[in-house]
Chain A
Amino acid sequence: MATKPKQLATGDRTIPPPDAKMIPIYIMGKEYMVPETITIMKAIEYAGYKYIRGCGCRGGICGACATFYRFIGDYRLRTGLACQTVVEPDMIIVQLPFFPANRPSYTLDNIEGDLHAELRRLYPEVFKCVGCGTCTRTCPMDIDVMDYVALMKRGDLKGAALKSFDCVMCGLCASRCPAQISQFTAAMFVRRLYGKYILPKAEHLKKRVEEVKSGRYERMLEELRDKSVEELKKLYTEREREPDLSEPGKWLPDDKEHL
C-alpha cells in the first residue's frame, strides 16, 4: 500500500489527524483543548499564543522555557522545560520566562590565591543553604543541585563544577530556594574558576599559539591560497589521515614540512 499524503505538517506547526485525541489543559488557569502527544510549548502555540518570551532553542538546552505545572486534584508542584515536556490531561501550566537572580560582578583575571574565599566573598548566601533539597527536586535537568551547593560550601570546586555542568540556567532552582540562593549563577562562577585555575592548561595549545603569533603559518597558507583547484584537489586526496586509535600527541605524518 502506498499513500501519498495530502497535507503534511511542516515546520513546527502541528496538524493533528482528524481522529487525534484531544485533552484539556489549563494555560495560566484557562482551559484549552489540545491534541495529546505534543509538548507544552507546541500546545501553547496550538492554543493560539505567540511566543516572545519563554521560548529559545526549542531543543532543551537554552533554559528559556522553564515551566511550573500541577495536575488538578494533586498537591504536588512539578517543573519541566516546556519544549521537552509532553502535555497530559488536566495540567495547569505557567511558564517562568525570567527570574531575577543574584549575580555579582567580578574580574576573573584578578582572582588569585584562595578561590574558595572568593566564592564566600561573592556568594555568602551559598553558605546558608539549609539542605532542604527543594532545588534538586525542582531541576528539570535532573541535576542534584543541593549536592553541588554542598560541594561549593565544602570547597570542592572541581566537584561542584562537574556536578553542575549540565545546567541550562533556567532559574527554577533559585525560584524555589528558601535560603534565597541563586544556585545557578554561583555555579557558573565556580565552573569558570575551575576552567581557568584548576584544570591544567593545554601546553601543546600554548606552543601552537606562539607559532601562530610568530607568523609561522602565513607563508604556508599563502602557498595554498595561490594554488589552482586542480592542485588543491590533488593535495586533498593525497593527504594522510591520522589513525582513529592513534595515541594523543604521538602519531606524526610523513609530511612534516607543513607542521
Chain B
Amino acid sequence: MSGYTEELKRLIEKVEQTRPRRLEQIKRGEHYPQLTMEQREEWLKKYHPDYKDEGRRKISVGPNAGQTFPGEVAALLESESRLNPDEVDLSKADCSVDVLIIGGGGAGTAAALTASEMGASVILATKLRHGDSNTVMAEGGIQCADQECDSPYFHYLDVIGGGHFTNSPELVSALTNDAPLVVSWLEELGMMFDKLPDGRMKVRHGGGTSRKRMHSAGDMTGAEIMRVMRDEVRNRTERIRVLEFSPAVELLTGKDGSVAGALLYNLETKEYYIVRAKSVIIATGGFGRLHIQGFPTTNHYGATLDGVVMAYRAGASLRDLDSTQYHPTGAVFPEQNVGLLVTEKVRGLGAQLLNMDGEEFCFPLEPRDVESACIIRECLEVGKGIVTPTGRIGVWLDSPLIDLIHGEGTVRRELPAKYTQFKRYNIDISKEPMLVYPTLHYQNGGIKIDQWCETDVRGLFAAGETTGGVHGRNRLMGNSLLDVLVFGKRAGKSAVEYAKGVEESPEPTLGHVKRFHQELKEAGIESPQKGPVLLPDYTPEHVKERQWLQAGL
C-alpha cells in the first residue's frame, strides 16, 4: 500500500518512465546544466523571495526607516501596540526583579542560568511552555573548534565566508572564541554528546566547514540542549521564576528612554502583568510563522517576530532583517510532514528534482538560494508543479535514484530518520519520490547588538535568532545553536552587570509607544496592523465566515 493518492500515483508513473533514461545519463556522468552566473542572478531576482521586489516594501518609521523588508515584516515594524498606551495604569507593578528575560528557548534559558549564577533574581517569561521553541527542533548539531587541527581562527573564516563577508566581525569573533567554553559548560551540565569510547567528541563536517566540528546528540541535538538547560532551571526556582503562556507584548521604558521592564499578557486569562526590571533581555527567536509570502516553515508555533517588534518601538535598530533563509527542499506531502526539512544530503547522494512530467528542470546542487528560485519558477511560472490534495504545490525529489546509483539499502542506511518519517505514512522513499517545495527556515537578521549583546536601548539586551549580525546574510548549519548559547550567556552576564549599576528600575512608562504611534500618524500610516501577533492564525475561511457575530461584540 502506498501513502500517495491515486492521482499522485499516476503522476509518479511518469517519474518511473523517465527514470531509466535519467539513470543512464547519470552513469555517463551527464547532468543538467548549471545556471550561468548571469542566469543565477536573473532567476534569483525574479523568483527568490529575498530579491523579488514584489512582496517587499520600504518602511517609513523607526530607526530603520527607508529600508526595504518583506511585506509581512514591514507591516509588523509599522504596527501599532495591542494596547492604548493612554489607558494603561502603570502605577502598581505586579513584580520587580533584577533581570527580566523574554523568551524561553535556548538563548533565554542560557541567559537565565548565567544570570542566576551571578546572584541576580530572574523572571523568565515565555509564550508557550518553557522550551517550546526553535531550539528544540535543531537536529543537525552545534559547531565548536575543539579538535587538534582546528581553532577559533579557522572557525571564524568559515563563518564569515559562509555569510558572504557581511557578518559583524566582533560578533563572529565572540562566537568562535566562546564556542569551547559553552560546549564544555553543556558537558558539565550533563548533556549526552555523541562521543567515542575515550570521551573524544564525535565530529562531522557541515556545509561550508573546513574542519570537522559539528557536535551532536543523536539527531536531536537541540532537544537535548534544551531539556538539559530547562531541567537545570527547575533546580533553581529560588532565583529563576518561569512564567509560561505569558508573552511580553510591550517593553516599558523610563523617562530617559532606558528600559524599565515589560508588560506581559496571560494568554489564558487575558490579564496583563506589569513587571519592573533593572535590565531586560530579548530572546524571542525567529519569524517563520509569519509565513513570509505564503511559504510553509520549519519553525515552531510561536516564531512570530515579537521581540523585534517590541524593541523596534523602543528605539533599537535592526540589521539584515530583509534576508531570510529558505531551505530549498521542505516536504509538502503528506500533510503531517509539511515544512519538514529534507536534508541536502538527499540531493548530494544523487536524487534529482523533477516536474510533473517527470523531467529535470535544474541542477540539483545549486546553492540553496538559487535552488529555491528554480523550484519556485517551475511551479509558479512554468506551471509544472504538482498540486497535492491539500492544495499545496511542489516538485518531485526522486530519491529512489539513490539506491539505483549506490546500491540497494543506501537510502535506509544513509537517511534513517527521513526514511522512517515517510514510512510512517506508507511512503517508502527508497522506492517512491518525495514532494518538496522551499520552506522558510531561519531569520538571518534582527536586532542589532554588540559583542556584549547591548542594543541601542539602554538596559536592553538581546540574544539568539532575534538578533542580526552574527551570521550576516547567510547562516551555516550548527552555528545558530552555538549563537544562542554564546550570546545567551553573554547577555545574561551583561544584564546582571548593568542591573548592578542601577539603584532601582526607572519609573515605568509607555512613552516610547506613544511617540511611535505619533510617528505612524505623521508618516500617514492609516489603520496599522496590531502587533506583536503572538500566534499565527490558522482558522480556516469557512469558520471565519461564521464568526461574524464576534464583530459586534
Contact = CB atoms under 8 A, between A and B. Distances in A.
Interface of A: 1-5, 7-17, 20, 35, 37-39, 42, 45-48, 50-53, 55-59, 61-62, 64, 83-86, 103, 105-108, 161, 165-166, 168-169, 188-189, 191-197, 199-206, 208-209, 211-213, 217-218, 220-222, 224-225, 229, 232-233, 235-236, 239-242, 244, 246, 248-249, 251-253, 258-259
Number of chain B interface residues as a range: 35 or more
Given A3-B387, A11-B296, A204 B153 contact: no
Contacts of A47: 543
Nearest to A57: B300
A11 B536 contact: yes
Interface stretch (B25-33, B52-60, B181-189, B272-280): B181-189
Contact of B540 (A46, A83, A107, A197): A46
Contacts of B200: 202-204, 248-249
Contacts of B154: 239, 253, 258
A163 to B, nearest CB: 12
B268 A16 contact: no
Given A13-B540, A59-B340, A195-B190, A248 B132 contact: no
User: Sorted from nearest, which 5 A-B pairs have the closest CB atoms?
Assistant: A200-B199, A192-B190, A10-B294, A56-B132, A15-B391
Given A202-B200, A240-B210, A259-B149, A84 B336 contact: yes
Interface stretch (B15-23, B319-327, B376-384): B376-384
Interface stretch (B89-97, B227-235, B254-262): B227-235
Contact of B180 (A39, A212, A220): A212
A248 B160 CA distance: 25
B198 A217 contact: no
A199 B192 contact: yes
Contacts of B173: 221-222, 224-225
A30 to B, nearest CB: 14
Given A108-B189, A212-B181, A86 B149 contact: no
A62 B152 contact: no
29 contacts: A5-B387, A8-B391, A8-B392, A11-B295, A13-B539, A42-B538, A55-B301, A58-B301, A58-B339, A59-B340, A62-B300, A103-B234, A165-B218, A192-B189, A199-B195, A202-B146, A202-B199, A204-B147, A205-B183, A208-B180, A209-B180, A212-B180, A217-B153, A220-B151, A222-B173, A225-B173, A239-B157, A242-B210, A259-B153
Task: Name, among A2, A20, A246, the residue most crowded by chain B CB atoms within 10 Å (CB to CB).
Answer: A2
A249 B173 CA distance: 24
B128 interface: yes
B177 interface: yes
Contact of A107 (B158, B235, B340): B235
Contact of A188 (B150, B218, B231, B297): B231
B170 interface: yes
Interface of B: 5, 128-129, 131-133, 136-137, 144-154, 156-158, 160-161, 165, 169-170, 173, 176-178, 180-181, 183-184, 187-193, 195-203, 205, 210-212, 218, 220, 223, 227-228, 231-232, 234-235, 237, 245, 267-268, 289, 291, 294-298, 300-302, 334-336, 338-340, 356, 380, 382-385, 387, 389-393, 424-425, 535-540, 543
Given A51-B301, A209-B180, A240-B210, A11 B145 contact: no
B291 A10 contact: yes
Nearest to A59: B137
Contacts of B201: 202, 204-205
A191 B190 contact: yes
Given A48-B539, A62-B129, A258-B151, 4 more contacts: A7-B391, A12-B296, A61-B220, A195-B228
A50 B177 contact: no
B224 to A, nearest CB: 8
A40 B232 CA distance: 33
A234 to B, nearest CB: 10
Nearest to A206: B184
Given A166-B220, A192-B189, A195-B190, A2 B181 contact: no
Contacts of B196: 248
Contacts of B211: 242
Nearest to B132: A56
B151 to A, nearest CB: 5
Contacts of A235: 157
A211 B145 CA distance: 12
B184 A209 contact: yes
B324 to A, nearest CB: 15
Contacts of A236: 157-158, 160-161
Given A208-B180, A258-B151, A201 B199 contact: yes
A205 B295 CA distance: 40
Contact of A192 (B129, B228, B543): B228
Given A58-B301, A205-B146, A248-B200, A48 B543 contact: yes
Nearest to A210: B180
A2 B145 CA distance: 50
Nearest to A224: B156
A250 to B, nearest CB: 8
Contact of B391 (A17, A50, A192, A240): A17
B180 to A, nearest CB: 4
Contact of B203 (A51, A59, A248): A248
B192 A194 contact: yes
B486 to A, nearest CB: 12
Contacts of A188: 227, 231
Contacts of A193: 190
B153 A258 contact: yes
Contacts of B149: 242, 246, 251-253, 259
Given A14-B391, A224-B153, A224-B169, A83 B131 contact: no
Contacts of B289: 11
A10 B189 contact: no
Given A50-B535, A239-B154, A208 B146 contact: yes
B149 to A, nearest CB: 5
A192 B229 CA distance: 10
Contacts of A57: 132-133, 136-137, 300-301
Contacts of B198: 200, 203
A8 B384 CA distance: 14
A166 B181 CA distance: 26
B212 A56 contact: no
Contacts of A169: 227
B191 A4 contact: no
A211 B146 CA distance: 10
Contact of B148 (A106, A192, A224, A249): A249
Contact of B390 (A35, A53, A62): A35
A168 B339 CA distance: 20
A45 B538 contact: yes
Contacts of A249: 147-148, 200
B152 A217 contact: yes
A15 to B, nearest CB: 4
Contacts of B295: 10-11
Contact of B537 (A50, A55, A62, A103): A50
A105 to B, nearest CB: 5
Nearest to B332: A9
A1 B359 CA distance: 13
A202 B213 CA distance: 14
